[in-house]
Chains A and B, each alone.
Chain A
Amino acid sequence: MKTSALPLYATIAIFLIAYFLCYLQFPFMLSTRVIGNLLTDNAYLGIIAVGMTIVILSGGIDLSVGSVIAFSGVFIAVLLRDTGLHPLAVFVLLLAVTTAFGAAMGALIHGLDMPPFIVTLAGMFLARGAAYMLTIDSVPIEAPFYDFLQDLYYKMPGGGRFTLIAVIMLLAVAGGMILAHRTRFGTAVYAIGGGAHTARLMGVAVGRTTVMIYAFSGFMAGLSGIVFSIYTGSGYPLATVGTELTAIATVVIGGTLLTGGAGYVFGTLIGVLTMGLIQTYIVFDGSLSSWWTKIVIGGLLLLFILLQKGLLSVGQRQQGEAG
């Protein structure tokens, strides 16, 4: 068994145990309604987390995604209000913009050999600023097409709704899994995460791959923005502040090594669901304040970082034994 897969198993185990405990207390937690909501409420988070996983696997970080979601919402709302464009056309336009934005950040990171932290931090302010330039108010979206999208769901037995945006999120996860684990691009991502210098000596096209990684994250942030606008039915420049950090947390809880090179996209999905589960529990309980979410997330993060550190040293010891 791969030692690097252990955090993934740990994540899955923790999620299942937590879910079971919740179920013991509130049997209703296992209903399709709760599950449907879990997926729907966290769809936008899941989508950026997939992009973030790829970025983190390569040893990078993308702090711009939260702002890009807000920008996307405003962009869509303003364009729909002020032009006669069909929402689908706006979506295409938006995805082109956010993908290009991500690619530009990737190009800067590689071309100027700058830390991703700095470049995407600048991107974060830029995207937020651009959202403000479009409007400073919350702009409702009134296109009929949006009503259509919001009503698009499959009614599961038990009354739960399997919504369009939940489907988009699961598709994004599936797409991310294929990209990361089944393509040459994915191997290149892991290679860069394992060591950019060595990857270059191995013949990895580091520059092209870096640009593609951040472009992918930008695309996912745009997609997440679309999903978020469907979810909320409006665009607001102050939305999703700090969401990039939540996304990073879900990636780490999902078992991906923060320094890059090891992890699984599927783990990120579990990380997102764990986060959603905690929130749902707090809602069910009713007496707990919502900052408990943050505390539990903080505790889980710490746990996972310690777990990975532990596994790393076990791995090294094993190598010592083999050698």
Chain B
Amino acid sequence: MLLTVRDLTKTFPGTLALDGVRFDLRAGEVHALLGENGAGKSTLIKCLTGVHLRDRGEIKLDGTPVSPTSTLEAQELGIGTVYQEVNLLPNLTVAENLTFGRQPTRFGMVSGRRMRAMAEEMLAGYGLDHVNVSRELGSYSVAVQQIVAIARAVALSGKVLILDEPTASLDARETETLFDVVRGLRERGLGIVFISHFLDQVYDLSDRLTVLRNGKHIITAETGGMERLDLIHHMLGHELEEAEHRGVAARSRGAELLRFEGIARRGKVEPFDLTVHRGEVIGLAGLLGSGRTETADTLFGRTPPDQGTARDDTGDIDLTTPRAAIAAGFGYAPEDRKTDGIVAELSVRENIALALQARRGWARPIPRHEQKALAEDYIRRLDIRTSDAEKAVGDLSGGNQQKVVLARWLAMNPRFLILDEPTRGIDVGAHAEILRLIGELTDEGMSILLISSEFDELIAASDRVIVVRDRRHVSQLVGEEVETDRIIRAIADHAPVEGAAT
């Protein structure tokens, strides 16, 4: 065994995050670590790599007990890690981020040229040829940053590579590239720990898997011998209740709510028309970078449209700023919740009440008991795993933080809500919960624009699906037409299917 963990226990105030967990990793295997949001996966990783100090337990690397007390020590032991949260520094250049701590020096001085060469070498094979390593990392997209973080961890991992939800902000092609790299490392005899909520990816990549639930070890098994339903059962502790199909059974269309005409933004999206009806879910499908997120940004005034009109039955709507859009009853839970969603120091209650409070104006504070009731309602509805509503959001697990962001926008009760990848990083159980919630909200009259790379999700939730390609809205599928094959075909028309997402 390359790495063995025995009886690992970790408590946080009010939470037993890990309870006597065991785990082992062979050289030359990809070992998936699975479990619900808040099961303790990230905590296990952090105890292994010295970010948290464990209460109890034993960690052996190559048979010798180790106790790293910082990421640095873990790196020196040959353990490279991509953590779930933001991993790199946007104010440093790409090259500095990649080579940090190992910059080539001469007489104590960093050689910029050799550092850049080293960085370029580290990035080779990830398809990031367009990236200029001398530029600040922050000027690149989250996906690029994520790949850079992975490249860094790969280069640091002499023995063990740990990837905590590395694919959450990658598209299908980038994911495939990553998997190729991981398979290459496996060939070379590294042990790889892979955490993901995408079960397809788990089956695709991993050799063995371990399931945690509520901080306890549930099972370790060969991936090949594990039925998917059994796996979900192990993770949730109960059966998954499938969200029922919406598509054909769609209810009658509500009255027209909003009408967008000729909306466009140069360099972002080409002109498009969109009519939104009350209580309708409109799916938006397309590859990453095809104009999906750009459409949402434009509709919400994040990058205000430079032409076109938006109208409801009372007249024109101002879309020049997000603030104006919010005032018009729009809501938007952006894709990049990792960086601009939460206020980590504030409690769950405060975070949920935040946007609602902003809309009411600070002169009319929401009474505390109302805030509390609101928070508790969403904690229940979204199944947010927290000891109580006063816990700081930064102390929740990654997936639960995302649920808090979602709750915040839902709590505002907008008439038109844009959800960009609402289920990324959220476990299978909560996934179904969220789809059910979307159904409930639209029954109450809310209209939703749902952006997702997961066709199952789009199909399950949407009344109609608009397909975006090359910044253009190319086709619309209604009712029975909403099915995976048709979406893929619409996306892939004239283009290779390479990007079809999982």
Give Cα A200–Cα B139 distance, bound, in whole angstroms. 22
B91 and A202 within 8 A (CB): no
Query: Per-residue CB proximity of B47-59 to A under 8 Å, as 1/0?
Result: 0000100000000
B92 and A320 within 8 A (CB): no
Candidates B100, B136, B302; contact of A203 at CB < 8 Å: B100
A190 and B51 within 8 A (CB): no
A190 and B70 within 8 A (CB): no
Asked if A205 is at the interface of the complex by the 8 Å CB criterion, the answer is yes
B89 and A262 within 8 A (CB): no
Asked if A113 is at the interface of the complex by the 8 Å CB criterion, the answer is no
Asked if A88 is at the interface of the complex by the 8 Å CB criterion, the answer is no
* A-B contacts, CB under 8 A, total: 100
Given A203-B72, A204-B72: A184 and B88 interface contact (C-beta under 8 Å)? no
Asked if B252 is at the interface of the complex by the 8 Å CB criterion, the answer is no
CB-contacts of A175-217 with B (<8 A): 178, 182-184, 186-188, 190-191, 193-195, 198-205
> How far, in Å, is B80 (CB) from chain A's closest CB?
9
> How far, in Å, is B448 (CB) from chain A's closest CB?
23
B91 and A190 within 8 A (CB): yes
Interface-centre pick from A261, A319, A321 (highest chain B CB count, 10 A): A319
Given A182-B110, A204-B72, A315-B139: A191 and B302 interface contact (C-beta under 8 Å)? no
> How far, in Å, is B228 (CB) from chain A's closest CB?
33
Asked if B96 is at the interface of the complex by the 8 Å CB criterion, the answer is yes
Residues of B close to A194: CB separation below 8 A: 89-92
Asked if B321 is at the interface of the complex by the 8 Å CB criterion, the answer is no
Give Cα A322–Cα B94 distance, bound, in whole angstroms. 15
Q: Chain B: which residue is nearest A208 at the CB level?
A: B72
A191 and B89 within 8 A (CB): yes
Residues of A close to B303: CB separation below 8 A: 320-321
Asked if A323 is at the interface of the complex by the 8 Å CB criterion, the answer is yes
> How far, in Å, is B299 (CB) from chain A's closest CB?
15
Of the listed stretches B101-109, B198-206, B405-413, chain A binds B101-109
Residues of B close to A190: CB separation below 8 A: 89, 91-92, 96
Residues of B close to A262: CB separation below 8 A: 91
Give Cα A195–Cα B105 distance, bound, in whole angstroms. 24
Candidates B88, B91, B109, B135; contact of A193 at CB < 8 Å: B91
Give Cα A258–Cα B309 distance, bound, in whole angstroms. 42
Residues of B close to A193: CB separation below 8 A: 91
Residues of B close to A318: CB separation below 8 A: 139
Residues of A close to B72: CB separation below 8 A: 203-205
Asked if B157 is at the interface of the complex by the 8 Å CB criterion, the answer is no
Residues of A close to B100: CB separation below 8 A: 187-188, 191, 202-204
Q: Chain B: which residue is nearest A195 at the CB level?
A: B89
Residues of B close to A323: CB separation below 8 A: 140-143, 293, 336
Given A205-B72, A261-B91, A321-B267: A198 and B139 interface contact (C-beta under 8 Å)? no
Q: Chain A: which residue is nearest B82 at the CB level?
A: A201
CB-contacts of B148-169 with A (<8 A): 152, 156
Given A194-B91, A261-B91, A321-B267: A203 and B139 interface contact (C-beta under 8 Å)? no
Query: Per-residue CB proximity of A86-129 to B under 8 Å, as 1/0?
Result: 00000000000000000000000000000000000000000000
B110 and A202 within 8 A (CB): no
B138 and A319 within 8 A (CB): yes
Residues of B close to A201: CB separation below 8 A: 51, 71, 81, 83, 85, 87
B141 and A2 within 8 A (CB): no
> How far, in Å, is A17 (CB) from chain B's closest CB?
28
A187 and B86 within 8 A (CB): no
Asked if A4 is at the interface of the complex by the 8 Å CB criterion, the answer is yes
Asked if B290 is at the interface of the complex by the 8 Å CB criterion, the answer is no
B89 and A178 within 8 A (CB): no
A183 and B89 within 8 A (CB): no
Residues of B close to A183: CB separation below 8 A: 105, 108-110
> How far, in Å, is A28 (CB) from chain B's closest CB?
41
> How far, in Å, is A321 (CB) from chain B's closest CB?
7
Residues of A close to B267: CB separation below 8 A: 321
Residues of B close to A199: CB separation below 8 A: 89
Asked if B75 is at the interface of the complex by the 8 Å CB criterion, the answer is yes
Asked if B457 is at the interface of the complex by the 8 Å CB criterion, the answer is no
Residues of B close to A186: CB separation below 8 A: 110
B89 and A319 within 8 A (CB): no
A184 and B101 within 8 A (CB): yes
Residues of B close to A205: CB separation below 8 A: 70, 72
Q: Chain A: which residue is nearest B96 at the CB level?
A: A187
Query: Per-residue CB proximity of B89-131 to A under 8 Å, as 1/0?
Result: 1111000110011010100111010000000000000000000
Asked if B297 is at the interface of the complex by the 8 Å CB criterion, the answer is yes
A184 and B103 within 8 A (CB): yes
Give Cα A319–Cα B297 distance, bound, in whole angstroms. 13
B92 and A184 within 8 A (CB): no
Give Cα A2–Cα B51 distance, bound, in whole angstroms. 33
Residues of B close to A198: CB separation below 8 A: 85-89
B92 and A200 within 8 A (CB): no
Give Cα A83–Cα B235 distance, bound, in whole angstroms. 76
Candidates B109, B136, B141, B143; contact of A4 at CB < 8 Å: B136
A315 and B138 within 8 A (CB): yes
Interface-centre pick from A191, A201, A319 (highest chain B CB count, 10 A): A201
Q: Chain B: which residue is nearest A323 at the CB level?
A: B141
> How far, in Å, is A199 (CB) from chain B's closest CB?
7
Give Cα A183–Cα B100 distance, bound, in whole angstroms. 11
Give Cα A323–Cα B139 distance, bound, in whole angstroms. 8
Residues of B close to A203: CB separation below 8 A: 70-72, 74-75, 100-101, 156
Given contacts A182-B109, A315-B138, A321-B267, 16 further A-B contacts (CB under 8 A): A3-B139, A183-B110, A187-B100, A194-B89, A195-B86, A195-B89, A199-B89, A200-B51, A204-B72, A204-B101, A261-B91, A315-B139, A319-B140, A320-B297, A321-B268, A323-B142
Enumerate 30 A-B pairs (CB-CB under 8 Å) in ascending A order. A2-B136, A4-B91, A182-B110, A186-B110, A187-B100, A187-B103, A188-B100, A190-B89, A190-B91, A190-B92, A191-B89, A194-B92, A195-B86, A198-B88, A198-B89, A200-B51, A200-B70, A201-B51, A201-B83, A202-B101, A202-B152, A204-B101, A315-B138, A315-B139, A319-B139, A319-B140, A320-B303, A322-B140, A323-B141, A323-B143
Closest 9 CB pairs of A and B: A323-B141, A194-B89, A194-B91, A261-B91, A203-B72, A203-B71, A182-B109, A203-B75, A182-B110
